[in-house]
Every structure is written in C-alpha cells, then in structure tokens.
Amino acid sequence: MTKTAVAQYDEWHAKLDDEGGIGQWHTLARELLEAGRLVAGRAVLEIGCGRGGFAEWLASAGAQLTAADVSTVAVETGRARSRQAAITWRVEDIQELSFPDCSFDVVVSCETVEHLPDPMRAVRELARVLRPGGALVLTCPNYLGPLGLYRGYLRLRGRKFQEAGQPINQFTVVPRTARWLQMAGLRMERFTALGHYLPFPGRPPIRLHRLDSLWPLKPFALHSAFRARKTAGARSSRQGEPSSPSQGAARES
C-alpha cells in the first residue's frame, strides 16, 4: 500500500472515538470459527485488526494470536487497550506480508480487502502464509443488494460513496470474492451472510431483520463471510519470488 494510503488510514483511525468493538461481520466470523473451536491452540493471524476489538475475542478463545494492521495508530491503540498480554502486535501490509510461507493455521481478515488498492493480491498473500489444510475466514461487504444500487445512484449524481469515511471502497460482491479465493488456491468450505438494508438519501438505511433468516436471500445480504481451506497442492511462495522470512517490511509493536 502506498505511503499516502497508509497515512490516510492512520488519520482515519486517529479520528475514531469508539472502542473498536464487535461488528456484524465479527458475528459471522465467530460463526465460521465455530465459536472459537477452530482457533483454540492454533497459530492465528488477524490481519486488518484495527484497534483490536476482535483480537481480544480471538485471544480469549485460546488462539496463539498475531494481530496486525497497516496503521501504526490502530496497532498502538489496540496494544494499549488490550487485556490479553499474549497477543503479538505487528504493523503489516496485507498486500505484502513479511511472514514466511505456511506460517499460520488460521488467518482471519474482517472488512479489509474492500479497502485495498489490489484485493486479489491481498487474498493471495493470505493464502501464502496459510499452512496446507489451514483455514481462511474472510468477511467483506456484498453490494449485490439495495446498497449496491445506492452506490450506482450516487455515482449518477456525481457523489462519491464512502463507507464510514474510509478512503478506499472497492465494489465487492459475493461471486467476485469467491473467485478471488479460488484463484488463490483455496477451496470454499462455508459461506454465510446477514444484513438487508433499504437505503434512503439523507438518512441511515433501514435494517430489515426478518430477511436474515431466509437462506435464499443470503447472497444478497450486505455482510458476507467465507471460510476456505488451503489445498495441499496450492502454491505458497509469491509468484517469481523465493520464500523468505525477511520479505516485506514489518515491525513488531
């Protein structure tokens, strides 16, 4: 990620005044992690950890956790607030992770790839650092529903769509995200989603909670989550590059 983009995310995190808590997507991630069963005693990377709200849950579930984010502000805030002394905090670029190939049993990334210049590159990196048989849990928005139409409406009006003021907001949809996982050598294992909203100009969207229970509508829900496995024959190292523990430019915090 460019220095300009990193500075923008540092500024964005510095302005937030909430506690960096649990969102709808974290509910889905916990479901796919089977309430912590898949992380207990495992080497886990949470990349895009923000200010550490979900990292606290992962550590409390028994994960041997590395929590990482591209924003130094986010990482320092998470470390300062953390009640879990065992978490290793790192500043990392998800598009160029410093970890060697096959470093983790589980990788978790919530609401991050849609805020990157190159999401596919990031998904390949997540697959690279997974051990064979390891699981990736990935959440991101799905704009196949009404909010996707609202983005189109804003574009026609000459207005820019922003998700909570973030500088980069890719148009992610379920089929496209599933394709990224497949192209990275991962095998889809589970999919789930929730959150149906009706947008109205000038006011917050209305949540239609009753639609969450209807399985045929899940591919159109806003909050989507995937669990995929790394197959035994998947390529690990970056294309054209040897595996090396020194790749990237990470810092421990």
- Tell me which residue of 244, 248, 228 sits closest to 102, measured CA to CA: 244
In DSSP terms, which residues pair with 188 in a beta bridge? 228
- pLDDT score, position 87: 96
Whether the per-residue pLDDT at 96 is higher than 90: the answer is yes
Residue pLDDT, tens place only, 45-76: 999 999 999 999 999 999 999 999 999 999 99
- Give the highest mean pLDDT range of 22-26, 69-73, 150-154: 69-73
- Where residue 19 falls among pLDDT bands split at 50, 70, 90? low
> 239, 41, 23: which is closest to 127 by C-alpha?
239
For the residues 149-161, what does the mean pLDDT come to? 83
The closest alpha carbon to 198, from 148, 139, 141, 142, belongs to 148
* pTM of the predicted model as reported, rounded to 2 decimal places: 0.88
pLDDT of 199-228, one tens digit each? 887 788 899 999 999 999 999 999 999 999
**What is the per-residue pLDDT for 114?**
94
Phi, psi of 80 (to 5 degrees): -65, -35
Alpha carbon distance 197, 241 (integer Å) = 44
pLDDT score, position 162: 73
Q: Which architecture characterizes domain 3-142+169-193+225-233 according to CATH?
A: 3-Layer(aba) Sandwich (3.40)
Which range of 38-42, 149-153, 154-158 scores highest in mean pLDDT? It is 38-42
Q: What is the pLDDT of residue 251?
A: 45
pLDDT at 242: 40
Instruction: Please write the tens of the pLDDT for every residue from 232-248.
Output: 766 666 654 443 333 33
Q: What is the pLDDT of residue 86?
A: 87
Instruction: Indicate the domain borders of the chain.
Output: 3-142+169-193+225-233
Give the pLDDT confidence score for residue 20 in this predicted structure: 57
Q: Give the whole-angstrom CA distance, residue 195 versus residue 52.
A: 23
Tell me the pLDDT tens digit for each residue of 25-45.
Answer: 999 999 999 999 999 999 999
